[in-house]
């Protein structure tokens, strides 16, 4: 899992960032880290007085063809009125560049700097707008996958690669081992009747910018893939439940707003709670991987797990 392998991440310096910007015929004035994410490296870069966003993919994360598909889908969403930052073409008119830095080749994308800020907490108005945008994104993603003949990916959700690795640690605390063994055996089957398409699969408070309670930009399509769209919705709803400003009543409201644009079918409704629980397992497992996960942290995660097992979704 690249997101758990920091050795695959680009380490920026004045020289390395300047090398990438040279592919755009842009001089580097200065740069700074845009976020502390665990997967793609994102930088704010200034060229003279203009501000851009530079994204550098980890090693072994995506093929060139994967990135071209990601950028084309982003452009498709933008052309259909969704708020996504524009991609800046390189000096030879390419949507992304591959530069050799430190004896390694790095794939990079340069984008316009979008207006707005990351919200500190969810508000009902922001969630209303997010729900409509996500439903529109799913409708467009389903159509795009069909017209472009994009093959669907996973037929089931399971977290075995990371849990297998963690469970190899013989010194693992027993209270963590019990939880991880439960995660290791949890599988969500994705039935063929579930509508599929391209989507974000990490659409949450960290990947949107807002202004005056409206989403001004959807960011970071690094987790984009083609699979049942209800998975993307379930991942978002976990965030609505447990991140700052979220609560169960807002999940019901989110679903209502979402279905004002895209109605869920019976199969999607039946599997949604399991998907939210799976997301909980993934996030908790990643937190355990990075360490500093105490008994108190696990107690909170277990309470949330039990809550999700009994949670009744209102459609």
pLDDT of residue 170: 86
> So where are the chain's domains?
2-112, 124-310
pLDDT value, residue 1: 40
> How far, in Å, are 12, 21, 53, 54, 199 from residue 32 at the CA level?
9, 14, 10, 10, 29
Q: Burial-class residue 286 by CB neighbours within 10 Å (0-12, 13-18, 19+).
A: middle
**Whole-number pLDDT of residue 40:** 67
The CA distance from 47 to 68, in Å, is 25
What are 120's two structure tokens?
């500190």
3: three-class secondary structure by DSSP: helix
The predicted structure's pLDDT at residue 291 = 82
Give the residue-averaged pLDDT of 296-306.
Answer: 95
pLDDT (0 to 100) of residue 2: 45
What is the per-residue pLDDT across 35-90, written as a single tens digit (0 to 9) for each? Answer: 655 556 899 999 999 999 999 999 988 999 999 999 999 999 999 999 999 999 99
CB 9 within 8 A of CB 41: yes
Structure confidence at residue 140 (pLDDT) = 98
Question: For residue 273, how far is the Cα from the chain centroid?
Answer: 19
Poorest-pLDDT segment among 159-163, 192-196, 303-307:
159-163
pLDDT at 34: 85
What is the torsional sign of CA 272, 153, 240, 295? positive
Phi, psi of 286 (to 5 degrees): -65, -40
* Superfamily holding 124-310: Aminoglycoside phosphotransferase (APH), C-terminal lobe (3.90.1200.10)
Q: How many helices (H) and strands (E) does the chain have?
A: 9, 12
Share of the chain above pLDDT 90, in %: 86
H helices present in 63-215, as ranges? 64-79, 124-147, 160-167, 174-185
- Give the global pTM: 0.94
Angle between the 266-289 and 174-185 helix axes, to the nearest 10 degrees? 150
In this structure, are residues 200 and 144 in contact, taking their beta carbons and an 8 Å threshold? no
Tokens (6 digits) for 72: 């084309």
**Amino acid 3: pLDDT:** 52
The whole-chain average pLDDT of the chain stands at 94
- Give me the pLDDT at residue 292, please: 78
Q: Residue 267 CB: number of other CB atoms within 10 A? A: 16
- Asked whether the predicted pLDDT for residue 141 surpasses 50, the reply is yes
Q: Which residues contact 26 (CB under 8 A, 6 or more apart)?
A: 47, 52
In angstroms, the CA 176 to CA 285 distance is: 10
Stated length of the chain: 315
pLDDT single digits (tens) 237-291: 999 999 999 999 999 999 999 999 999 999 999 999 999 999 999 999 999 998 8
CATH domain 2-112 topology: Phosphorylase Kinase; domain 1 (3.30.200)
pLDDT in tens, 204-228: 999 999 999 999 999 999 999 999 9
3-state secondary structure of 33: strand
């Amino acid at each position: 899992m690249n997101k758990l392998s920091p050795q695959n991440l680009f380490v920026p310096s004045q020289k390395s960032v300047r090398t990438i910007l040279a592919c755009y015929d842009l001089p580097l004035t200065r740069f700074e880290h845009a976020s502390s994410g665990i997967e793609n490296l994102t930088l704010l870069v200034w060229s003279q007085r203009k501000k851009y966003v530079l994204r550098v993919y980890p090693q072994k994360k995506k093929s060139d063809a994967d990135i071209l598909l990601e950028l084309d889908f982003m452009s498709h969403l933008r052309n259909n009125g969704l708020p996504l930052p524009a991609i800046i073409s390189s000096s030879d008119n390419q949507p992304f560049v591959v530069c050799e830095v430190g004896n390694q080749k790095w794939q990079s994308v340069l984008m316009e700097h979008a207006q707005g800020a990351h919200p500190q907490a969810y508000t009902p108005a922001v969630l209303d707008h997010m729900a409509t945008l996500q439903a529109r994104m799913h409708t467009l993603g389903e159509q795009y996958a069909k017209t472009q003949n994009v093959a669907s990916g996973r037929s089931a959700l399971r977290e075995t690669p990371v849990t297998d690795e963690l469970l190899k640690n013989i010194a693992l605390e027993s209270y963590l081992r019990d939880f991880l063994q439960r995660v290791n055996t949890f599988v969500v089957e994705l039935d063929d009747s579930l509508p599929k398409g391209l989507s974000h699969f990490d659409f949450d408070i960290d990947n949107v910018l807002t202004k005056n309670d409206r989403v001004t930009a959807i960011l970071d399509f690094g987790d984009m893939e083609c699979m049942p769209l209800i998975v993307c919705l379930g991942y978002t709803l976990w965030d609505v439940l447990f991140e700052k400003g979220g609560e169960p009543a807002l999940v019901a409201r989110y679903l209502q707003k979402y279905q004002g644009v895209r109605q869920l079918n019976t199969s999607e409704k039946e599997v949604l709670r399991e998907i939210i629980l799976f997301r909980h397992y993934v996030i908790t497992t990643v937190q355990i991987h990075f360490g500093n996960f105490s008994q108190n942290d696990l107690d909170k995660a277990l309470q949330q797990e039990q809550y999700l097992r009994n949670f009744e979704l209102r459609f």
